[in-house]
Structure 1
């Protein structure tokens, strides 16, 4: 862990019994997580309270979740350097009956990973099959708005103010800022690129267009700052750029959804945000709010001029 990375509050959980105990402690819910995303959220929330061995398993599950539906318990145990019984304890801690039930959760997501183009159709079909086929457009909009409000409220409650201040410090003290984000995170990266152009910093956007990011990385210098944005499942190209930037001496600010994400492990500062999901579709409201907050806080620090131009517009104001 790099200095400056925020530490989540520890979660108090019951001490795990020895192997001879028939009852294993579960997480706060008696029911196992219903989705991989929910499971990873629980894992993140309880990570600090896990034993060292279970932390090793947790990190492996986070990093290799796309393989967990296919590898056996022995392979998982060997990869983590633990006994299979530790894997069983890990599964039961989170409410599963054992490894097989936990693995089944990950297997159910493999089809969507293999054919991501069908994911939206499948999610909409789930809504219809759940009895929601009579939903009117305004009802759908209302659900999304409520979900976005909930995401913003959660961000307000959980935002690490110290990490945000550290991120602003890094951005204020550098002459060059790079931004990397693709897929679902791409709109956030583009907004930050646009907004930061209103400062006197040198700004560069890694768009991954035509795989040109592999050449762009050569322009990153020691002392530069890179903002990387990605969420589960983490974009490989973004992770690759982040790792190479750190190797070249850049300082990393990660906007991500897990302390165990590959970006958080590379970052000097991590800003955590988890957007809501409505009908299986993830919002970007909270993430955009965080990105705007980061820029405006930096602009305030730099004391940007907002004097109106001759036509009445605000020449340096980012919309």
Structure 2
């Protein structure tokens, strides 16, 4: 059981021991945790009918080092439990209608900053070694994580000859595509709240098959991390009904660059060939000054 579910259970089990004011706070959190997660202690106290100091003391008595720690647990709860409709309601209260651009960008910047401070560098380096030494590389991500998997797959296909981006139309198709994943292979699973059961089951299957499993997710308590040999943790958030996955994309970008630097000679030859192909088949729009530069007499 994760810490967020522990909190709700703890509030329910200890209700009879709380004071009148504490009961009001506890019932509000149980019934409106989506709103409480982004309320200040003063605002929560105002809505419940108690003082700000009562709210702060209540968080301390629950075993949290201050009210912000209690908020953090509640925020973890809503990321994985709220429906899309509830997420929309919560974010509307949280962001408001004014300056949405600034609010969302500021939140994304904060998530990258926290990720940079908290990410395990040894786990990142171990993941690089695992990928470089793998016989086959499988990449899996569904729903809102699918673009992340596609981005990683696009660049890994330029770096390696043994990459398979797992297509995820159905559960059976996922298993059919990873059925041969075994010892010496690596399966990279990407999943963020609300976690995909298809990804979880696929990673469990790959683990049982003997493949090395790498999770790119938001927490070590994430269900996909439970089956991983190594995990890259990146903070995610919700921007209204949409998932904010800027920090995960940044970590994936770092992974691509790190692996690419280790395969620099191979990558150089690949891009040299691709540039000729792109020119021949006019893949990219080419500004006039590029032709002039190439015709210049050096």
Does TM-score exceed 0.5, indicating one fold?
A: yes
CA contact (8 A) 1:228 1:254 kept: yes
Q: Distance in 2 between matches of 1:151 and 1:171?
A: 26
Q: Distance in 2 between matches of 1:119 and 1:203?
A: 38
Counterparts in 2 of 1:38 and 1:287: CA distance versus 1, 3 Å: farther
Look up the SS of the partner of 1:262 in the other structure. Answer: coil
Residue 250 in structure 1 maps to residue 203 in structure 2? no
**Structure 2 unpaired stretches of 5+:** 1-16, 19-24, 38-60, 66-73, 280-298
Task: Count how many residue pairs are aligned between Structure 1 and Structure 2.
Answer: 219
Residue 169 in structure 1 maps to residue 139 in structure 2? no
Residue 309 in structure 1 maps to residue 275 in structure 2? yes
Aligned to 2:260: 299
Residue 285 in structure 1 maps to residue 251 in structure 2? no
Residue 156 in structure 1 maps to residue 116 in structure 2? yes
CA contact (8 A) 1:185 1:231 kept: yes
Counterparts in 2 of 1:154 and 1:215: CA distance versus 1, 3 Å: same
Look up the SS of the partner of 1:309 in the other structure. Answer: helix
Shift of 1:256: 1.1
Q: Distance in 1 between matches of 2:178 and 2:102?
A: 42
CA contact (8 A) 2:192 2:236 kept: no
Aligned to 2:93: 126
Look up the SS of the partner of 1:226 in the other structure. Answer: strand
Aligned to 1:182: 142
CA contact (8 A) 2:84 2:241 kept: no
Aligned to 2:62: 92
Aligned to 2:224: 263
CA contact (8 A) 1:123 1:280 kept: no
Superposed CA RMSD in Å reads: 3.9
CA contact (8 A) 1:150 1:276 kept: no
Aligned to 1:143: 103
Q: After TM superposition, list the pairs within 5 Å mapping 1:185-204 onto structure 2.
A: 185-204=145-164
Greater relative contact order (CA < 8 Å, ≥ 6 in sequence): 1
Deviations 1:174-216 (A, max 9, x none): 1210011112212111111111110233112223203311222
Q: Which has the larger radius of gyration?
A: 2
Aligned to 1:238: 199
Q: Distance in 1 between matches of 2:108 and 2:88?
A: 22
Look up the SS of the partner of 1:118 in the other structure. Answer: helix
CA contact (8 A) 1:189 1:229 kept: yes
Counterparts in 2 of 1:286 and 1:35: CA distance versus 1, 3 Å: farther
Residue 228 in structure 1 maps to residue 154 in structure 2? no
Task: Identify the structure with the greater helix proportion.
Answer: 2
Q: After TM superposition, list the pairs within 5 Å mapping 1:16-35 onto structure 2.
A: 35=33
CA contact (8 A) 1:228 1:253 kept: yes
Counterparts in 2 of 1:278 and 1:197: CA distance versus 1, 3 Å: same
Counterparts in 2 of 1:277 and 1:200: CA distance versus 1, 3 Å: closer
Q: Distance in 2 between matches of 1:289 and 1:237?
A: 24
CA contact (8 A) 1:143 1:278 kept: no
Counterparts in 2 of 1:277 and 1:120: CA distance versus 1, 3 Å: closer
Look up the SS of the partner of 1:271 in the other structure. Answer: strand
Aligned to 1:44: none
What TM-score do the two structures reach when normalised by structure 1? 0.58
CA contact (8 A) 1:230 1:238 kept: yes
Aligned to 2:50: none
Q: Distance in 2 between matches of 1:38 and 1:172?
A: 45
